[in-house]
Amino acid sequence: MGVRITPASGTRVGVDNDRCELYGICVMEAPGLFALGADGRLRFRKHPLGPEEKEQAVAAARACPLQAVVLRGDVHG
């Protein structure tokens, strides 16, 4: 039986595009969630999967120099 990965309950990731300057630090902190596309735009997945990605999402939010990463919902659970 494979490992079942479920979305980290209720945590939602968002990026404030007015603040984001595409430094890519969030990509380094959470490579599974954030990516810089070839078109220079930041892409990200809204729903972290499992506790590890949730931790990474929190780390990305902390590390973003412009506080552009916004976490909503059940972040600390």
Given the complex with ligand SF4, which of 49 and 66 has the nearer CB atom? 66
Residue by residue, DSSP assigns 24-67 as -HHHHH-TTTEEE-TTS-EEE-SS-BHHHHHHHHHHHHHH-TT-
User: How far, in Å, CA of 4 to CA of 31, rounded?
Assistant: 20
Using CB under 6 A as the binding rule, whether residue 20 contacts ligand SF4 is answered as: yes
Q: Which of 8, 11, 13, 15 binds ligand SF4 (CB under 6 A)?
A: 15
**Interface mask (CB under 6 A) for ligand SF4, residues 52-71, using x and -?**
------------x-x-xx--
